[in-house]
A and B are shown apart, each in its own frame.
Chain A
């Protein structure tokens, strides 16, 4: 992280970039929040997908790119914002073509989000805006945070029995809202699968299911499995949209707020 920041510092020394292109869903969000009018030329096509984009309305105001070096280069950007999971080939090719590419690391801690805001702010020459957003984020998170002595045990359950363990943003979101994460109890360090049998045996107080996407898939059938339905009938349950959980950006506050509502509802019988 420190090394990455140092790398950006070098890039920022010059005048602020005027033609910025973002090719990653998460950098899209940060760029749209912070960029000066006219500074951001294009966002990734994923930001136009209502299933995963939290800032859909804003994103619809920007032309999309598909993250391919050729189309990005044609926009003649002086800065490209990419994510850690952006194809290394694309990043390498753009750099060889002389385009400045900043690769933003994936954030697995809520504390890392203000840092990300400041980093993108520095890259765009919008330090003041970034500082304001970072302060707002920290204040809102502190206001939402639940510490209650009774921490209900929650299970995150996504397609293919995927769940998130201790070192993940989803775990931090759960904990901030005052829940304990059963995947961490089961010993999962990061993201991974937890067999449905094991999840049922852990008897969570709350099941938080991933959203269902259009079309059909066997992977998502586990979300409606009778055993999971039985767990949901027993206690509170929520189906949460994935969009707010994906990116280490202030969008996660939406997820925290929704979970806090579930927590408060569970507390008042």
Chain B
């Protein structure tokens, strides 16, 4: 099963990616769409496929992979299934970093200023969470710390957007808190891709160390795991992925909670197997959500976070209930 899981998930992502390219309000026929995408023969169709739908589908894959992988990695490190970037305020803080960069004009200062600012926001949040809840803190400490960080980041994001001289800024609070991929462009793909790829590389190389950590810190240290180094790389890897994803798509919650939870029984408890599976699973989930928002309300910008929360929040409540039953 484990060996078949990654190919099956990859096939699912490929199918959803194709569906994402073929579904949209313009109502193009599938044949015309693909011909325009590949050959670029007709101007209008080519613009729709290459400049509007392709970046959207690519971003859904990138953002989903980032959130799924970051969630699995945080859960592996904290040995707590509730550690999810959105719930513990990492996405919210990344959004705050992005909003600050955009409203101060710093985002235009140089190419990667926007994702780097979001990354900085995410680093602060991950460090705060590790400091407050740490590897030895229980679930309750983790969730309480997450609530505090999320609330503060959300409030500051609202404040910055309300203070903006731009008449549209305040109405975008919902975008930064719920996330959307509508009308993104290749520029956004190029901004996010390097940081998400780098973060993925860093986290995947730590998979073995996270495996060892499941036996406890002392056992892991005796097996040659450098705990301080692991922590540093984990912080940077998670912040890089979540920061870049949030900078271009807003904060999309629950992906990092749902995906590892669904896949964990299929791959076993080993982080080294769960990390890559969660990345691909995350891509599938965000692609599905992004296709669903186009099918449910094609002319309006329904936010992705609404759908992921509808799936994720009940699961979250279930996990809390289970955790409570275990007396943790």
Residues 196-229 of chain A, each 1 if its beta carbon lies under 8 Å from chain B, else 0: 1110110100000000011111111110011100
B299, A221: Cβ atoms closer than 8 Å: no
The residue that A226 contacts in the complex, of B165, B166, B172, B187, with Cβ under 8 A, is B187
B299 touches A160 (CB 8 A): no
Residues in chain B near residue A195, CB distance under 8 A? 24-26, 298-299
Q: Is the interface of A mostly helix, strand, loop or mixed?
A: helix
B contact residues around A168 at 8 Å (CB): none
Highest count of chain B CB atoms <10 Å: which of A213, A227, A234: A227
Query: A243 an interface residue at 8 Å Cβ cutoff?
Result: no
Q: Which of A159, A193, A197, A218 contacts B175 (CB 8 A)?
A: A218
Q: Mark B159-195, 1 if CB is under 8 A from A, else 0.
A: 0000011111101100100000001011100000000
Interface magnitude class on chain A: 20 to 34
Is A216 a contact of B52 with CB atoms below 8 Å? no
B166 contact set on A, CB distance < 8 A = 213-217, 220
Question: Which segment, of B43-51, B139-147, B229-237, faces chain A?
Answer: B43-51
Among candidates B26, B102, B171, residue contacting A197 with C-beta atoms closer than 8 Å: B26
Q: A216-B169, A230-B47 are in contact. Are A193 and B299 (CB under 8 A)?
A: yes
Q: Closest residue of chain A to B107, judged by CB?
A: A216
Residues of B within 8 A of A216 (CB): 102-103, 105, 107, 164, 166, 169
Which residue of the partner chain B has the closest CB to A160?
A: B168
Residues of B within 8 Å of A221, CB to CB, are 183
B165: chain A residues at CB < 8 Å are 213-215
Contact between chains at A215 and B43 (CB < 8 Å): no
A231 to B172, CA, bound (A): 26
Q: Which residue of B lies closest to A229 (CB)?
A: B51
**Chain A contacts of B299 at CB under 8 A?**
193, 195
The distance from the CB of B286 to the nearest CB of chain A, in whole angstroms, is 18
Q: Are B43 and A196 in contact (CB under 8 A)?
A: no
- CB contacts (< 8 Å) of B171 on chain A: these are 219
**Chain B contacts of A219 at CB under 8 A?**
168, 171-172
Using Cβ atoms and an 8 Å threshold, which residues of chain A touch B300?
193
Contacts of A214 in B (CB 8 A): 165-166
Do residues A217 and B24 form an inter-chain contact, with CB atoms below 8 A? Answer: no
Task: Return chain B residues, CB-CB under 8 Å to A222.
Answer: 183
Q: Which residues of B contact A230 (CB under 8 A)?
A: 43, 47, 51
Judge whether A227 and B164 touch: CB under 8 Å.
no
| Cα separation A231 to B183 with both chains bound (whole Å) | 15
Q: A213-B168, A215-B165 are in contact. Are A201 and B48 (CB under 8 A)?
A: yes
Q: Which residues of A contact B47 (CB under 8 A)?
A: 200, 227, 230-231
B51 and A227 within 8 A (CB): yes
Q: Is the CB of A196 within 8 A of B183?
A: yes
Known: A196-B183, A197-B52. A218 touches B25 (CB 8 A): no
Contact of A200 among B26, B103, B167 (CB under 8 A): B26
Q: Which residues 162-197 of A sit at the B interface, judged by CB distance below 8 A?
A: 193, 195-197
* Docked pose: A98 CA to B25 CA in angstroms: 52
Residue in A193, A217, A225 whose CB lies within 8 Å of B172: A217
Within 289-311 of B, Cβ neighbours of A (below 8 Å) are at: 298-301
Q: Binary interface profile of B, 100-114, with partner A (CB < 8 Å = 1, else 0)? A: 001101010000000
A161-B28 Cα distance, complex, nearest whole Å:
20
User: With A and B bound together, what is the CA distance between A126 and B218 in angstroms?
Assistant: 90
User: How many Å from the CB of B296 to the closest CB on chain A?
Assistant: 14
Q: In the complex, how many angstroms separate the beta carbon of A258 from the nearest chain B beta carbon?
A: 22
Rounded to whole Å, the gap between the CB of B34 and the closest CB of chain A is 16
Q: Which residue of A lies closest to B175 (CB)?
A: A218
Q: In this complex, what residue of B is CB-closest to A203?
A: B44
The minimal Cβ–Cβ distance linking A224 to chain B, given in whole angstroms, is 9
Q: Which of A160, A161, A200, A217 contacts B44 (CB 8 A)?
A: A200
Cα-based distance from A198 to B298 in the complex (angstroms): 11
Q: Quick check: A196 and B52 within 8 Å, CB to CB?
A: yes
User: Contact at B175–A198, with CB atoms within 8 Å?
Assistant: no
Q: List 30 A-B contacts (CB under 8 A).
A: A195-B25, A196-B183, A197-B24, A197-B52, A200-B52, A201-B44, A213-B165, A213-B166, A213-B167, A213-B168, A214-B165, A215-B165, A217-B166, A217-B168, A217-B169, A217-B172, A218-B168, A218-B172, A219-B172, A221-B183, A225-B51, A225-B52, A225-B183, A225-B185, A226-B187, A227-B48, A227-B52, A230-B43, A230-B51, A231-B47
The 5 closest A-B pairs by CB, nearest first: A215-B166, A219-B168, A197-B26, A217-B168, A227-B51
